[in-house]
Structure 1
Amino acid sequence: MKNNHVIWDWNGTLLDDFAITAQITADALAELGRPGVTPEMVREHYRRPLSEYFSALLGRTARPDELRHLGEAYERNYDPAMHGLPLAIDALDALSTLAERANQSLLSMAPHGQIEQLIEHHGLGSHFTLVEGFTGTGHPTKRQSLERHCETLDVNPRACWLIGDTVDDFAAAAPLGVRTALVTTGMQGRDALLATGAPVFDNLADAAEHILNA
């Protein structure tokens, strides 16, 4: 393998949490007078920034109080359930396969404390040279976070792959020279992922194999 580092996304990639994320969103939108949101609609409309995503699902511009309601609903319902969420069915196999020929790290925009708890819960710490979630204040983009992640690791971005589940993952990686493998297990559907031009896979094992053979 010509590349020696793989950076993993967490939610919807290594962690199989799409169903609960979609359900929390649908329930919160119903409370705002927008019932009937389906998982398919979530995948169709998901984007960053989240204000545009929620506005697309509402069918109008989301008000600040509505965005707060959606954020609070996620915090209220996700944390109590998160330890019961499974890893992707082939997560351990993919991690082990890549470990034979590459170092690996994890970068997430989810709260760092939450990521630390779940990494420990699933016993994944030994797989990663660095685990980073969101800390501090403000709203850094994933591109900014990814750039800092590579600097902290002291790795050349062009020697890295990112495995993720969203167009935002690709948009963060491409300007830095990080190549991306996208999987259809998370927040966005196949058509949106394919439109990036990045390779798209239905599971982590195939993504890992592609990286090894690149």
Structure 2
Amino acid sequence: MRVHIVWDWNGTLFDDIEAVVAASNAALAELDLRPLTVQQYREQYRVPVVDFYRELLGRAPDPEEWLRMDASFHRHYESLRDGCALTAGVEPLLSDWTGQGSSQSLLSMYGHEDLVPLVRRFGLERHFVRVDGRVSTSGVSGKAGHLVRHLAALGPEVAPARTVLIGDVVDDALAAAHVGAHAVLYTGGSHARSALERVGVPVADTLSQAIAYAQELVKS
């Protein structure tokens, strides 16, 4: 049975950490919270995002505050997104993986209606057997439930035991464990290496290294 990779998008295939932090700082400014550097953001980030804001506020944001912060984040992120690029080497990596006879899909917590045209704009859709973005409320849940549905839609040909989720946050590893899949975490996104290393799965500094780890994890 073939090896399958489930890729994350933001902070993994899509190099948007600077835009994410800038948009997060705009959201924090709604409640007069100080801005974060990229390193501070990586050290403090939580999933779901509402827990990240709770940590910074010292309390849960009330519903009106949450709506303001979430709207501000998305407004600023959309204004910055088109200035972001793919992570270095993504296109040949995806092509090589497909050429080896293995399969890959994309699962993101970025909104589905925004994700699909963005993936198409970069010409990547042809590499994936399925592309799924978030269809639920922003920022209030982790990836585990979404991964369950994603794998179910892929069908029995994609076995969790031979599937590797490659993402940039601790929640990616937790989601993989929830379904009985493997995980490799990449240091170019929203979590600091120190946080990723505590999970106990391979941590990669490049996507090519992440693929090498994935192959090791599912060796017959």
- TM-score between the two structures when normalised by the length of structure 2: 0.89
Shift of 1:15: 0.4
Is 1:57 equivalent to 2:56 in the alignment? yes
Q: Structure 2 counterpart of 1:86, which letter?
A: A
Equivalents in 1 of 2:149, 2:120: separation in Å?
23
Q: Structure 1 counterpart of 2:151, which letter?
A: C
Gaps of 5+ in 2: none
Equivalents in 2 of 1:14, 1:27: separation in Å?
24
SS in 1 for 2:115: helix
Shift of 1:172: 0.7
Equivalents in 2 of 1:144, 1:49: separation in Å?
12
User: What's 1:75 paired with?
Assistant: 74
Does structure 2 conserve the Cα–Cα contact (< 8 Å) formed by 1:201 and 1:207?
yes
Equivalents in 2 of 1:30, 1:77: separation in Å?
12
User: What's 2:190 paired with?
Assistant: 187
User: What's 1:123 paired with?
Assistant: 123
Q: Structure 2 counterpart of 1:67, which letter?
A: W
CA deviation vs aligned residue, 1:157-183 (integer Å, no higher than 9, x gap):
112000000011111111211100100
Equivalents in 1 of 2:27, 2:137: separation in Å?
25
Is 1:208 equivalent to 2:211 in the alignment? yes
Q: Structure 2 counterpart of 1:191, which letter?
A: S
Is 1:149 equivalent to 2:150 in the alignment? yes
Where do residues 165-184 of structure 1 align in structure 2 (5 Å cutoff)? 165-184=168-187
Equivalenced residues, count: 213
User: What's 2:8 paired with?
Assistant: 9
Q: Structure 1 counterpart of 2:147, which letter?
A: L
* Cα root mean square deviation, aligned: 1.9
Equivalents in 1 of 2:30, 2:85: separation in Å?
28
Percent of aligned pairs sharing the same letter: 37
User: What's 2:65 paired with?
Assistant: 66
Equivalents in 2 of 1:66, 1:76: separation in Å?
15
CA deviation vs aligned residue, 1:2-37 (integer Å, no higher than 9, x gap):
751110000100001111110111132134211242
1:161 to 161, 164, 168: 164
Q: Structure 1 counterpart of 2:113, which letter?
A: G
Is 1:94 equivalent to 2:93 in the alignment? yes
